[in-house]
Copies of this chain bind each other. A is one copy, B any other.
């Protein structure tokens, strides 16, 4: 069988993670080219080392490459809609990092171009592929939990971003909690109907000056009647805190944090165990690999896309509703925000 030929747009950290995953773990695919406007000697040497033959500065050298079957778009968010549309028109299958955009209209247009050109599209909500959260999802889908009543997601970063970063981030809901909005949809197998958001500046006053909050608790009412709650903090000093729970008529499924090892040390002072994994790439490495393996499996073998067009749109709607809710201090219906059906 011929290998699937993949091109990567964006040679930053996440682009390189995906390149490594395919090289190491997907013998049926090969990355034949990578493009980055800041292509330099170091990046070229890295590419060569893992067997990528062609390097470009211009993403259109990937998009228009006649040998390439699928592109991974790992460039900054502001470039996503243009590159997705061009790739779709060039009949390439597309994996794109989240989010497609922060403007719903542009997302909607872009998804329409994807649909019209009949290419496969996967959005990079990697946490769906995490061994822990995915097992909670499976417990729900296998009816171990029964009808879903309450979904709880705790998501706290180990270190706050700079106020500078926050300014351009679109705010905590679009930048950080968007993962958790998708997680609630994924775990509950239902869509969000209404959002009520609370927020506070408790970690860093500079984040407040930048117009954002650093601590947020959001309540969601789901279309199937369930209630969900997400709490976010920009700083958990003990590490990356990532826990989910689904409670329902037949029981409750939940996951605690992964740790580097399971050591437990008992002394006269206490019983100590390891902190949660600190860095998101340590915590979610398996999910980054699995999402790409699954994407290539969809392209090559027709397996259904597990995180597709709907998933590119809905979390952004929820995030925008949450921002509006926080600003207007009232519950906001998704239908006030949504432009697509």
Contacts and interface: CB of A to CB of B under 8 A. Distances in A.
Interface of A: 20, 23-24, 27, 49, 51, 131-132, 134-136, 139, 144-145, 147, 149-150, 152, 154, 156, 196, 198-200, 202-203, 215-217, 219, 221, 225-229, 231, 233, 235-239, 241, 247, 249-268, 270-276, 329-331
A135 B263 contact: yes
Given A250-B267, A330-B331, A200 B236 contact: no
Contacts of A264: 253-256
Copy tally for this chain in the complex stands at 4
B263 A271 contact: no
A144 B227 contact: no
A253 B13 CA distance: 34
B202 A226 contact: yes
Contact of A271 (B156, B274, B331): B274
Contact of A231 (B199, B216, B227, B275): B227
B262 A256 contact: yes
A200 B227 contact: yes
Contacts of A228: 217
Contacts of A149: 200, 202-203, 215, 233
B225 A196 contact: no
Nearest to A275: B271
A258 B135 CA distance: 15
Nearest to A259: B271
A261 B250 contact: no
A47 to B, nearest CB: 12
A325 to B, nearest CB: 10
A268 B254 contact: no
Contact of A263 (B139, B147, B238): B139
A258 B200 CA distance: 33
A251 B237 CA distance: 6
Contact of A152 (B27, B132, B231, B276): B231
Nearest to A248: B202
Contacts of A23: 24
A266 B238 contact: yes
Contacts of A262: 132, 255-258
